[in-house]
Amino acid sequence: MRVTLSTSIPTAPISSSNRNLMNHHPKEVSMKKKAPQQMTKRERIQAAIAGDPVDRVPYSLWSHLPMIDLDPVKNAEHTYDFYKKYDVDILKTMNNGMYSVEDFGAKTDFSDIPKGGVAKITDTPVKEPEDWLKIEPVSVNEGALAREQRYLKLLLDKTKGEVPVIFTVFSPLTTANKLCPSMMDHIRQGHGDKVKQALKAITETTCGLVQRVIELGADGIFFATQLSSYNLTEESFYREYGMPYDLAVLAASSGWCNVLHGHGKNIMFPLLRKYPVQIFNWHAWESLPDIAEAQLMTGKCIMAGLERMDITEHHKNEIEYQIYETLKETGGRKVILSPGCVIRYPLDEEMLSFVRKAKEEIERKMFGV
C-alpha cells in the first residue's frame, strides 16, 4: 500500500462539548446534571469522548501477559478473564511488547518481564547504517503480525461487542528504535536518509496492520509513541523522524475510539495534543501535564488519573488521592480513569480490585451515583 507522509496535523472541528470545556473550569462540570440511566460500556465510552454525562466514570486497567502473549489462544483467554474480573469499560489488547520488530528479524529475551523487568533485544538486523536499506515492508498475513491479529479475532469472538476493544500499535519510530538501539547515533553520523527509508517501510507495514485490525472489528487503536519526550529527543527531530509517520498510521485507522499514548516523562505535549485522536493518554502524576491542563489543552477525552507504580507498590492512600483529584478536576466528564501505562508484574489482584472499589466510593460520595 502507498503511504502519504505529512507534517501538517489535521484540524478537527471544535464540538459543542469542547466549547463548553473551554468556557468553564472542569470543576464546574458535574455528573449530577442529567445523569443518565445505566449505560452499556460502549455508550459510556462514547459519552466520555463526546463530553456528555455518564452514568458512572469509565475506567480501565491493563498489563502484559509475559510468555502467555506469544500464544494467541492463551492470550485471548487470559485477556478476557482479566476483562471479566476487573470489569473494565474499555479493553486494551495486551499484545507482546516486541511484536512489531519480530517480523523484521529482531530476536528478543523476555525472561525479565515476569520479575517486573522489560524485554531486551538480543539480536537485530540493523547493526550498521547501511543495514537500514535492507528493511522492507513485511506481510501482515504471516509471522508475529498474523499471530497478533489471530489474538484480536479470538478476543473479539469472546467479548461479542459488549466492550470497546482497542488494539495496541507502536509508532514507526518506536519500532525503528527497538530494531536498532544505535539509531540516534546513525542519524547524528549523517545517515538520516537511510533511516527514513526504513521508516517508510515500517510505516507501510504498520498502516496495513491498522487497516486489518479495524476490519476485524477493533473499535480503534492504542497508538504508543515512545520517543516523543523532551528527555530523549528535540522537537525538531521528532517533527522530522516521528510525526509524519505517526500521522500516516493514525490516518489509516477508521476506528471511532483511537487513543494516543505519550510514553514516558516530559512528553512533547504541545505537539502531541494536536494529534487527530479521540482520547489522550499519558503518564499523569509522573509527569506534566496535569489533569485539568491536559483536558483543557487537548479538548479531548483524557484517559489517565492513576500512577501505575503506586498500584504495583500498594500505595492505597496515593491511589485514592489520585482518583479524588482526577474526578474533582474533571467533574467526572470527558475522562476515562486509567493508569498512564502498563501495570508491571507481579500483579496484585487485591490492589487491582481496590482501584475499582475506591473509584466507586469516591464517585458515589462526590456525585451521588
Q: Is 3 exposed, middle or buried (0-12, 13-18, 19+ CB in 10 A)?
A: buried
**Structure confidence by residue, pLDDT tens digits, 217-233:** 999 999 999 999 999 99
What mean pLDDT value characterizes the chain?
92
Q: Which three cell numbers stand for residue 182?
A: 544505535
| Domain ranges, residue 188 | 16-367
**Structure confidence by residue, pLDDT tens digits, 284-297:** 999 999 999 999 99
The Cα 173–Cα 268 span in angstroms is: 15
Contact 152, 213 (CB under 8 A): yes
The Cα 290–Cα 284 span in angstroms is: 6
Is 1 a domain residue? no
Residue with cell 530494531: 179
**Structure confidence by residue, pLDDT tens digits, 33-46:** 566 789 999 999 99
State which amino acid sits at residue 349.
E
Residue with cell 463530553: 51
pLDDT of residue 341: 95
pLDDT of residue 159: 98
Residue 114 reports pLDDT greater than 80: no
Report the relative pairing of strands 335-339 and 259-262 from DSSP bridges: unpaired
Is 295 a domain residue? yes
The Cα 147–Cα 143 span in angstroms is: 6
pLDDT of residue 5: 80
pLDDT of residue 180: 95
Task: Quote the longest CA-to-CA distance of the chain.
Answer: 62
Is 3 a domain residue? no
Length of the chain counted residue by residue: 369
**Structure confidence by residue, pLDDT tens digits, 18-32:** 434 334 444 544 555
Between vectors from CA 246 to CA 240 and to CA 252, what angle results, nearest 5°? 140
Is 40 a domain residue? yes
* Cα 166 to the center of its chain, rounded Å: 9
Give the domain CATH number at 262: 3.20.20.210
Is 11 a domain residue? no
Is 8 a domain residue? no
Report the relative pairing of strands 120-123 and 107-109 from DSSP bridges: antiparallel
Give the Å distances, CA to CA, from 289 to 150, 167, 310: 37, 25, 19
**Structure confidence by residue, pLDDT tens digits, 260-271:** 999 999 999 999
Confidence of residue 133 (pLDDT cuts 50, 70, 90): very high
DSSP 342: P
**Structure confidence by residue, pLDDT tens digits, 145-199:** 999 999 999 999 999 999 999 999 999 999 999 999 999 999 999 999 999 999 9
**What percent of the chain shows pLDDT beyond 70?**
92
**Structure confidence by residue, pLDDT tens digits, 327-369:** 999 999 999 999 999 998 778 999 999 999 999 999 999 999 7
Is 4 a domain residue? no
Among 219, 95, 207, smallest CA distance to 159 is for 219
| Upstream peptide bond of 164 is cis (omega within 30 degrees of 0) | no
Among 101, 90, 105, smallest CA distance to 166 is for 90
The Cα 120–Cα 209 span in angstroms is: 24
Number of structural domains the chain divides into: 1
Q: DSSP 3-state assignment of 66?
A: coil
pLDDT of residue 30: 53
Is 105 a domain residue? yes
pLDDT of residue 23: 40
